[in-house]
Structure 1
Amino acid sequence: MTGEKGKSVTLDVQALLSRDEDYLPRMVQAIVEATLEAEMTAVLNAEKSERTEGRRGYRAGYYTRSLVTRVGTLELRVPQDRHGLFSTQLFERYQRSEKALVGALAQMYVQGVSTRKVKAITEELCGHSFSASAISAINKRMDAELEAFARRPLTEAYPYLILDARYEKVREIGIQSRAVLVAIGIDGEGRRNVLGVELANRESRSSWRDFLLGLKARGLSGVEFVVSDDHEGLKRAVTETLTDAAWQRCYVHFLRNALDHVPRKHDDDCLQELRWFYDRRDLAEVRQDLARWLNKWQDKYPKLTQWVEDNVEETLTFYRLPRQHHKHLKSTNMLERFNQEIKRRTTVVRIFPDDAACLRLVRALAVEIHENWLEGTRYLNMSHLAEHKKEQMRQLDRAEAA
């Protein structure tokens, strides 16, 4: 049984290496340096400044060493001791099987695998293993960094907020599903930001409310427009916590829901014509098309047309935004792509050993995506929103003058 588990770990590493090359150099550097510190502690039999009778020597600062890897050149601080007892095998092994070690480190500390699996991987790839306590210490350092990201103050205004959730499996008294709640904000410069990632037992009004109140406690402000699916608990939480924001129901989810109200083998253009509503220039044009659509299809699909008439308004809120922003904010597609990237990597793990391991991976990937967004091109030109507001004020002034 043990042999089978070891083999599955190796396959997971190979799968990870074949799929992913995009690790944060800073994250890898922190992991390698933490590993060196753990090795030094084992050699000296003592932590920094620890008073113990079993101490075998004393630290004597650090020297700098460059390490060229697939994620870039890492400038590492390597610990040294007074009597030269410490000699790591890490660099030699790393240079010979650098791809494998990066993949192993990523799986060990980003994917939060159990310490037993970590030991098996390091023995196979590095020729030696690290103790469970050393591995736990490394994970704790990483958790502290991720927690700092998750609790950082939100000092800017975020006019646009996109909310969604996905589910991951966790081994807690059997295998349980956990909701991963995610919030993406678009700031005043038009850049996307990962504002929050939290686990909940399930999607509910209370879990979403607590999540949004947590964001507000960190400083979330200036939210004018929220996009999500039509989960009832989420809708209620948005209404209760973001009272000044307009809410947009994702039109893609809406069109999927519409399939429930037509025969499975329908062969006409009914739903395609419904899809066209969301490409119109303005709301007046949509209302004209909607009236024609209802009149055309109400006899053939009375259930569908009644459902659309009752719910379609929730999907048209985006028409109050600048036309240049419609494409990006009429759905949660941007966050769906974020979730697909999370899924692509969590599939390697399949079932997390606990909540902490799940949250560690998802937040680590969120940090990576967040930093890529900040360093990349702007997602939206927010000058369009500013000009749109000015035009609305001018129209209001003209109406009052008349």
Structure 2
Amino acid sequence: MTTIKRSSKGATVEALVASDPDLMKALMKQALQEVLEGEMTELLGAAPGERTDSRQGYRAGYYSRGLVTRIGKLELRVPRDRHGEFSTALFERYARSEKALVAALAEMYVQGVSTRKVKAITEELCGHSFSASAISAINKSLDETLARFATRQLEEAYPYLIVDARYEKVREDGVIRTQAVLIAIGVNWEGHRQVLAVELAHRESQSSWKDFLLRLKERGLWGVEFVVSDDHAGLRKAISEVLTEAVWQRCYVHFLRNALDYLPRKADDDCLQELRWIYDRRDIQEANRDLVAWISKWQAKYPKLVDWAESNIAETLSFYHLPRQHHKHMKSTNMLERLNEEIKRRTHVVRIFPNTDSCLRLIRALCVETHESWLEDNRYLNMTLLVEQKKEALRLAA
């Protein structure tokens, strides 16, 4: 495999491709290999060589598997585990996002490299050059499929909603700008996760988030009872205006990260760890008792942190009103963060998208694949527990 070296900050796409004709193929192979390694790490609960109590098994070498793509055949090393439990959907699900990724790379090369060099490079790697018409042909079928996914009617209720944003760099009118990628995941009453929406916005703001949520409602979103997000001010306001009946849960992971701003840099005691333990309690009563004890213990040493936490922590404890089995899944945006990490593995190959359409095309293609795999999986949550809890609450109220 070609060794991929980090370019200097000012290196152009033209210089990279000219210095290494196998760059496109090498980048694709590296990205897919990282996906396989990530899947194995997730299965085992540990990275290679990592010592952890949560480990579920051990690696047992690799076997070779070829994957035919538009840039040639890639020889990948598929990980094995000792019990033979590892399987990957990469080879079956790769086709759609591979086309989107190759199209993004091709557009980038067409825009950043002279016609003569594009022709020479793509003919060597792919057997043909990526002209504007060739790129258009690749994208046409993709765009039709992705448009149907993005505009589909939502015909069932989603009691749980998780929303978050990530950022990608896109070239617009010759200027590199940062675009916010807004994503929403829903959990239906059967307990299955679904990717509900993926859109681009110039920035995260109250108006962009409000428009995003309103478009979801126009497509039929209803029955939302519980929303998880970070503490972005615009997003919070949009949720309160559009999803008026929903309880809001501030992601506790983001909250703990924010807490570092109120803690001295050289703090090395158990203050934050004890704060984190509050989120592992059985119910809100236990959590509140631990919170009172935590405040009493650390008030004198870290008054800024304690005052801030006391004023804001209630927003992160909403999940205690859900069935206990749902707590670990619904107290943070981790479900969506994992999807974002998968997106990052692929978009990192492109680095700077040639236009917004290219960026949205690749990310939606990846989200469609995730969405379809979730539909085939066993249910993520047992939602009958929430139904029973609601019935019991009505009985007690009566």
TM-score (norm 2): 0.77
| Contact map agreement 1:228 1:248 (CA 8 A) in 2 | yes
Does the residue aligned with 2:203 lie in a helix, a strand or coil?
coil
| Contact map agreement 1:225 1:246 (CA 8 A) in 2 | yes
For 2:382 and 2:32, locate their aligned partners in 1 and report how far apart those are by CA, in whole Å.
Answer: 31
**How far does residue 4 in structure 1 lie from its aligned partner after superposition?**
4.3
Structure 1 residue aligned with 2:336: 335
Structure 1 residue aligned with 2:81: none
Structure 2 residue aligned with 1:109: 103
Which stretch of the first structure deviates more once superposed, 111-120 or 195-204? 111-120
For 1:16 and 1:334, locate their aligned partners in 2 and report how far apart those are by CA, in whole Å.
Answer: 26
**How far does residue 395 in structure 1 lie from its aligned partner after superposition?**
2.0
Structure 1 residue aligned with 2:54: none
Residue 161 (str. 1) matches residue 136 (str. 2)? no
What one-letter code is carried by the residue in structure 2 that aligns with 1:128? Answer: H
For 1:171 and 1:335, locate their aligned partners in 2 and report how far apart those are by CA, in whole Å.
Answer: 26
| Structure 1 residues 98 and 192: CA distance shift in structure 2, 3 A | same
What one-letter code is carried by the residue in structure 2 that aligns with 1:175? Answer: I
For 1:186 and 1:275, locate their aligned partners in 2 and report how far apart those are by CA, in whole Å.
Answer: 26
What one-letter code is carried by the residue in structure 2 that aligns with 1:368? Answer: E
For 2:162 and 2:105, locate their aligned partners in 1 and report how far apart those are by CA, in whole Å.
Answer: 26
Structure 2 residue aligned with 1:18: 30
Structure 1 residue aligned with 2:55: none
Structure 1 residue aligned with 2:17: 5
What one-letter code is carried by the residue in structure 1 that aligns with 2:164? Answer: D
| Structure 1 residues 370 and 209: CA distance shift in structure 2, 3 A | same
| Contact map agreement 1:13 1:104 (CA 8 A) in 2 | no
Trace 1:269-280 onto structure 2 (pairs within 5 A).
Answer: 269-280=270-281
What one-letter code is carried by the residue in structure 2 that aligns with 1:316? Answer: L
Which stretch of the first structure deviates more once superposed, 214-223 or 134-143? 134-143
What one-letter code is carried by the residue in structure 2 that aligns with 1:252? Answer: V
Which stretch of the first structure deviates more once superposed, 167-176 or 197-206? 167-176
For 1:236 and 1:112, locate their aligned partners in 2 and report how far apart those are by CA, in whole Å.
Answer: 40
| Contact map agreement 2:204 2:234 (CA 8 A) in 1 | yes
For 1:380 and 1:339, locate their aligned partners in 2 and report how far apart those are by CA, in whole Å.
Answer: 21
Structure 2 residue aligned with 1:268: 269
**How far does residue 236 in structure 1 lie from its aligned partner after superposition?**
0.1
Q: Which segments of 5 or more consecutive residues in structure 1 lack a partner in the other structure? A: 24-68, 73-92, 398-402
Structure 1 residue aligned with 2:287: 286
Does the residue aligned with 1:113 lie in a helix, a strand or coil?
helix
Q: Deviations over 1:73-102 (max 9, x none)?
A: xxxxxxxxxxxxxxxxxxxx98x9533897
Residue 322 (str. 1) matches residue 334 (str. 2)? no
Structure 2 residue aligned with 1:217: 218
Does the residue aligned with 1:199 lie in a helix, a strand or coil?
strand
**Residue-pair matches, total:** 331
Structure 1 residue aligned with 2:42: none
Does the residue aligned with 1:20 lie in a helix, a strand or coil?
helix
| Contact map agreement 2:106 2:135 (CA 8 A) in 1 | no
For 1:104 and 1:382, locate their aligned partners in 2 and report how far apart those are by CA, in whole Å.
Answer: 35
Does the residue aligned with 1:99 lie in a helix, a strand or coil?
strand
Q: Deviations over 1:29-73 (max 9, x none)?
A: xxxxxxxxxxxxxxxxxxxxxxxxxxxxxxxxxxxxxxxx9579x
Larger Rg: 1
Structure 2 residue aligned with 1:39: none
For 2:183 and 2:241, locate their aligned partners in 1 and report how far apart those are by CA, in whole Å.
Answer: 18
Trace 1:246-257 onto structure 2 (pairs within 5 A).
Answer: 246-257=247-258
Structure 2 residue aligned with 1:367: 368
**How far does residue 120 in structure 1 lie from its aligned partner after superposition?**
5.3
**How far does residue 136 in structure 1 lie from its aligned partner after superposition?**
1.3
Measured on the aligned residues, the alpha-carbon RMSD in Å equals 2.7
| Structure 1 residues 247 and 98: CA distance shift in structure 2, 3 A | same
Structure 1 residue aligned with 2:150: 150
Percentage identity across paired residues of the two chains: 61
| Contact map agreement 1:112 1:360 (CA 8 A) in 2 | no
| Structure 1 residues 97 and 308: CA distance shift in structure 2, 3 A | closer
| Contact map agreement 2:103 2:358 (CA 8 A) in 1 | no
Residue 170 (str. 1) matches residue 176 (str. 2)? no
| Contact map agreement 1:146 1:360 (CA 8 A) in 2 | yes
Q: Which segments of 5 or more consecutive residues in structure 2 lack a partner in the other structure? A: 1-11, 36-64, 76-93
